[in-house]
Structure 1
Amino acid sequence: MRYDASTTQTGSRALSASAQKVLRNTYMLLGMTLAFSALTAFYSLVTGLQLNIIVFFVGVYGLMFLTHKLADSAWGLLSAFAFTGFMGLSLGPILGMYLGAGMGDVVVSALSMTAFVFFGLSAFALITKKDFDFMGKFLMVGGLVLFAGIIANLFLGLTGLHLAISAGFVIFSSALILFQTGQIVNGGETNYIRATVTLFVSIYNLFLSLLSLLGMSND
């Protein structure tokens, strides 16, 4: 029997029930993948595991592509956990650097702010039920600009550019949370695996960006 993470929408009442189902499944899977990612982050933190930059990019984009490809099958769930677990492994060394420098309060602050922003924006999208489709082009262009900035700064190593990229990712990730939640609420996204991965990446980037900004301000 074929497993399908998508839902069918027929009529206004069915659309509402469909959106509720996708939203419920998305938040359930998001909670589980965040917990699993936290476990893998803890593992890499205590073992001192380090990921080569090339391994990181190949792993992230390879697993992300695989998850989107398998999102309509049961294998998509396994791939989603593999992707989020890998992201957690990459987070351990970063957390270790901050904790080793005695900046545990910065980590807690970044985590708290990330949770506040995510729940606040999600609540706004759920309550207003606004359509954020107009943000699609902004997100596409913004994502390309930020990616180009990351690549450029790998060679330039400019502190100012790093700050600008981190601030840009805070705005980009926040906008993506609004956009994706709006897509679910209004029936634009009917696959909870894809929705989960998008929200997970948004939370991950938001946390890292806030961590970077708070860490630099602390210095």
Structure 2
Amino acid sequence: MANWNDPRTTRPGLGASQGFTGASVPRTGEVFDAGLRKHMLSIYNYMTSGVLLTGIVAMLFAQSGMAADLFVNGGLLSWVVILAPLGFVLAMSFGANRFSRGALQAMFWGFAIAMGLSLSTVFLVYTGSSIAATFFATAGAFAGLSLFGYTTKKDLSAMGTFLVMGVIGLLIAMVVNMFLQSSGLELAISFLGVLIFAGLTAYDTQRLKREYAHLRGTEFAGKAIILGALSLYLDFINMFLFLLRFMGASRE
């Protein structure tokens, strides 16, 4: 693994360390650090654009009245819309090696739109002001947690395994509560959901940072940006949805 803190410089040829312009040759660590910053910035740009696209689509679809017609009346189409984001995630995750970077980009934007259609119900249940407040609270928490994951020297790998198991436990508990309809269990699920995806935000950020050392200069590096944005997007959206259960004010 390349060491981005490695202070050693590249070995220049005779006279290469100082050209006619007087510019010095950059250190190996400096070149790596600049590439890492560019890589992570690209991931954050994709992730932020995807979240904003989802929010705009959700708001417009709800305001148009089509969301109420689709989800209130139910039917097969409503289930297609609800399950479509999962289909995109599975296809991108398991088909990354087969798809081109352009195809993954198109799928990422398609996923963001599908999520917007699926999450339009949020605007039917909660007030706009509470949604906005929760969004900005999530954005602030996400920024702090991601910064922690990027800068910490502590290895978060073990925590990642525990958190993934927690996500599986959450899914099982949510399915069980569909039959029990327990308000206490729902509150516990929401609380644990916020904690788990907060932890995953820090873990995924560190994971993406470390992966760059192996990916830089490879053909897969461009694809990794899109897949990394998908991971952070899911962390943000899930943390937002669980937090909304605490901060959201019902329209009724």
TM-score, reference length from structure 1 = 0.83
Q: 2:238 matched to which residue of 1?
A: 205
2:229 aligned to which of 188, 193, 196? 196
2:45 aligned to which of 10, 22, 28? 28
Tell me whether 1:181 sits opposite 2:214 in the alignment: no
Do the aligned residues in 2 keep the contact of 1:26 with 1:195 (CA within 8 Å)?
yes
Q: Distance in 2 between matches of 1:135 and 1:156?
A: 30
| Between structures 1 and 2, the one with greater helix share | 1
Q: Distance in 2 between matches of 1:62 and 1:92?
A: 18
Could you give the per-residue CA deviations for residues 121-160 of structure 1, whole angstroms, max 9, x where no partner exists? Answer: 1122233354311212112210110010111112221111
Tell me whether 1:89 sits opposite 2:105 in the alignment: no
How far did residue 216 of structure 1 move?
Answer: 7.3
Q: 2:178 matched to which residue of 1?
A: 154
What runs of 5+ residues in structure 1 fail to find an aligned partner?
1-8
Q: Distance in 1 between matches of 2:104 and 2:54?
A: 16
Q: Which moved more, 1:41-50 or 1:51-60?
A: 51-60
Report percent identity of matched pairs. Answer: 26
Do the aligned residues in 1 keep the contact of 2:147 with 2:202 (CA within 8 Å)?
no
Tell me whether 1:137 sits opposite 2:161 in the alignment: yes
How far did residue 187 of structure 1 move?
Answer: 2.8
Runs of 4+ in 1 over 6 A off after TM superposition: none
SS of match in other structure, 1:186: helix
Q: Distance in 1 between matches of 2:64 and 2:167?
A: 33
How far did residue 87 of structure 1 move?
Answer: 1.1
How far did residue 73 of structure 1 move?
Answer: 2.2
Q: Distance in 2 between matches of 1:91 and 1:82?
A: 14
Greater gyration radius: 2
Q: Distance in 2 between matches of 1:33 and 1:109?
A: 19
Q: Distance in 1 between matches of 2:151 and 2:42?
A: 18
Match for 2:80: what amino acid?
A: V
Do the aligned residues in 2 keep the contact of 1:129 with 1:182 (CA within 8 Å)?
no
TM-score, reference length from structure 2 = 0.73
Q: 1:3 matched to which residue of 2?
A: none
Do the aligned residues in 1 keep the contact of 2:204 with 2:231 (CA within 8 Å)?
yes
Match for 1:159: what amino acid?
A: S
Within 5 A, what are the aligned runs for 1:30-109? Answer: 30-48=47-65, 49=67, 50-51=70-71, 54-56=79-81, 58-68=83-93, 69-70=95-96, 73-99=101-127, 104-109=128-133
The size of the alignment, in residue pairs, is 207
Q: Distance in 2 between matches of 1:24 and 1:117?
A: 18
2:192 aligned to which of 168, 172, 191? 168
How far did residue 45 of structure 1 move?
Answer: 1.2
Q: Distance in 2 between matches of 1:78 and 1:129?
A: 35
Do the aligned residues in 1 keep the contact of 2:58 with 2:117 (CA within 8 Å)?
yes
Q: Distance in 2 between matches of 1:208 and 1:94?
A: 9
Structure scoring higher RCO (CA < 8 A, sep ≥ 6) equals 1
How large is the Cα RMSD of the aligned pairs? 2.6
Do the aligned residues in 2 keep the contact of 1:131 with 1:183 (CA within 8 Å)?
no
Q: Distance in 1 between matches of 2:81 and 2:154?
A: 36
